[in-house]
Homo-oligomer: A and B are copies of this chain.
Amino acid sequence: MSELIKQACDKSYEAWKSFKNASYATRKSLLENIATEIENLGDELIQTAMEETNLPEARLSGERARTCNQLRVYGKHVTDGYWAAAYIDTAIPDRKPLPKADIRKINQSIGPVVVFGASNFPFAYSTAGGDTASALAAGSTVLLKAHPAHLKTSKLVAKAISKALENLNLSQDIFIHIEETDFSAGKALVQHPNVKGVGFTGSHTGGMALVKYAQEREEPIPVFSEMGSINPVVILHENYDDALQMKVAQLAGAITLGVGQFCTNPGLILMLDGPVLEGVAAQLSEAISKSGVGKMLHPGIEKAYLENYKTALSQKGVELIARSSDVDLPGMAVVAKTSSENFLSNPKLHQEVFGPYSIIVACKDLEDLLNVYEHMEGQLTSSIFVEPGRFEVQQVFVDVMSVKAGRIIVNGVPTGVEVCHSMVHGGPYPSTTDGRFTSVGQDAILRWVRPVSYQNFENEVLPDGLKNANPLNIPRLVNGVWTSEGL
């Protein structure tokens, strides 16, 4: 382990000992200050990110706005306070056979966490992205392993965070930017005893490597790896009509959006063989052919995409439906087609092809379609296109999807992950390592906390969230009833 990593982990832990007790108001100010300082970076940030990631200006401006919004959302969420799950059970001294003590509990930070910046969201899931914002909101300090594909961008954002900490006279060690890009640095961070949690978005191989490092530790720690998903779209429409055409147009857009570089990219379309499928295939074919060839994030992703779609297309029984270029190019959109038998018998076709690629699977009947879905691995999302009112068939698919996926969408595409309370961006393995948590939306904070009980305490020594008067004005479960009133 490099001396630099060791020192960073020690500093982070020292800073955490005080930051864990920072008031909710301070944490909110910090998150809001970071948002403002990121905005203050102005055009330099966008230009730097454009150079490093090939992403267009409009996308990056939008992503910056989303990132600053996320920071402010988590800020508000901290002071809203129900994430803290503050519970109070008051004493019953004369209870028989034994008296009952006053017991209270509240969520607190698990400790310093390591966040790995994601390449496909250089703002929103990188340096000051959702993992960092939710961890700071929880009262955790953050060791941020910068993504080598946008190191300059990451440094700029780290500078904004540093400025925000300075503005508030908070320790610079609350957020430490790790610029060592070699593989061993990540391992050393995950295995340092001071680190108590890990957030990662990226490949299956990368995510599971972190899990292995964490398992080798003396003390196990939670690793939240969000690793990918092929996001099945089940089309149940009985006619190829205007309503379906509008949805398929959306679907074509979702396949090519951002050169397909989203974890919610729809990589699999399941439907019955027949005239409706023919209509959908023809429409997708036309849209995809005309969709152009985008520039991907970095050469590593380009290379992997080229290899992966070629492998998929070379499988037995896989037919090319459309491609957006006559010659093989990275960033070229591809739609293929196969039968349910082929799909079921060939695990290679279940693998994510990260990029603008999707495959239609033609099924014999509804039972066959259901069977194909049930053979899928865990997914971030699953979607259904269906005529309104066809509740019975929807119910059947929703039931199996609720076992397999983190989010189910009816008549909509999986891309576009709303930052809101009810978002679940997380699903059963292998889409993530722990489907009990989300990495987008307010509840992402729950990955970084654990409850602590306080029994028989004098009011003065309790954490503020549990004091009688409810000075933080948060909702609390008092003797089984939610209230914001003091005792």
Interface residues in chain A, defined as those with a beta carbon under 8 Å from any beta carbon in chain B: 20-21, 62, 80, 82, 85, 87-89, 97-98, 100-101, 103-105, 108, 110-111, 211, 215, 219-220, 222, 378, 388-389, 391, 394-395, 398-399, 402-403, 405-412, 416, 418, 420-424, 426, 428-430, 433-436, 438, 443, 449-458, 460-461, 463, 475, 477, 480, 482
Knowing A421-B87, A422-B89, the reply to whether A220 touches B429 (Cβ < 8 A) is yes
Q: How far is the CA of A88 from the CA of B89 in the complex (A)?
A: 28
Contact between A480 and B436, CB atoms less than 8 A apart:
no
Contact between A82 and B421, CB atoms less than 8 A apart:
no
- Using Cβ atoms and an 8 Å threshold, which residues of chain B touch A103? 418, 420, 422-423
Give chain B nearest CB distance to A347 CB in angstroms.
12
Give chain B nearest CB distance to A429 CB in angstroms.
5
- Using Cβ atoms and an 8 Å threshold, which residues of chain B touch A461? 391, 394-395, 398, 410
CB-nearest residue of chain B to A88? B422
- Using Cβ atoms and an 8 Å threshold, which residues of chain B touch A89? 418, 420-422
Contact between B422 and A104, CB atoms less than 8 A apart:
yes
CB-nearest residue of chain B to A466? B422
Contact between B407 and A452, CB atoms less than 8 A apart:
yes
Q: How far is the CA of A85 from the CA of B438 in the complex (A)?
A: 13
CB-nearest residue of chain B to A103? B422
Contact between A424 and B452, CB atoms less than 8 A apart:
yes
- Using Cβ atoms and an 8 Å threshold, which residues of chain B touch A108? 402
Q: How far is the CA of A293 from the CA of B100 in the complex (A)?
A: 29
- Using Cβ atoms and an 8 Å threshold, which residues of chain B touch A410? 454-458, 461
- Using Cβ atoms and an 8 Å threshold, which residues of chain B touch A421? 87, 89, 105, 477, 480
> What is the copy number of this chain in the assembly?
2
Contact between A422 and B211, CB atoms less than 8 A apart:
no
Contact between B422 and A458, CB atoms less than 8 A apart:
no
Known: A105-B424, A220-B434, A410-B458. 14 other contacts (CB 8 A): A101-B409, A103-B422, A110-B436, A211-B220, A220-B433, A391-B460, A398-B454, A405-B452, A408-B453, A408-B457, A410-B455, A410-B461, A424-B452, A436-B450
Q: How far is the CA of A438 from the CA of B87 in the complex (A)?
A: 14
- Partner of A98 from the list B105, B416, B423, B435 (CB cut-off 8 Å) is B416
- Partner of A409 from the list B402, B430, B455 (CB cut-off 8 Å) is B455
- Using Cβ atoms and an 8 Å threshold, which residues of chain B touch A443? 85, 451
Contact between A407 and B453, CB atoms less than 8 A apart:
yes
Q: How far is the CA of A82 from the CA of B391 in the complex (A)?
A: 27
Give chain B nearest CB distance to A277 CB in angstroms.
23
Give chain B nearest CB distance to A237 CB in angstroms.
15
Q: List 7 A-B contacts (CB under 8 A).
A: A20-B403, A219-B428, A391-B458, A402-B463, A406-B451, A408-B455, A482-B482
- Using Cβ atoms and an 8 Å threshold, which residues of chain B touch A21? 399
- Partner of A450 from the list B88, B435, B475 (CB cut-off 8 Å) is B435
Q: How far is the CA of A403 from the CA of B97 in the complex (A)?
A: 33
Q: How far is the CA of A164 from the CA of B463 in the complex (A)?
A: 43
Give chain B nearest CB distance to A475 CB in angstroms.
6
Give chain B nearest CB distance to A407 CB in angstroms.
4
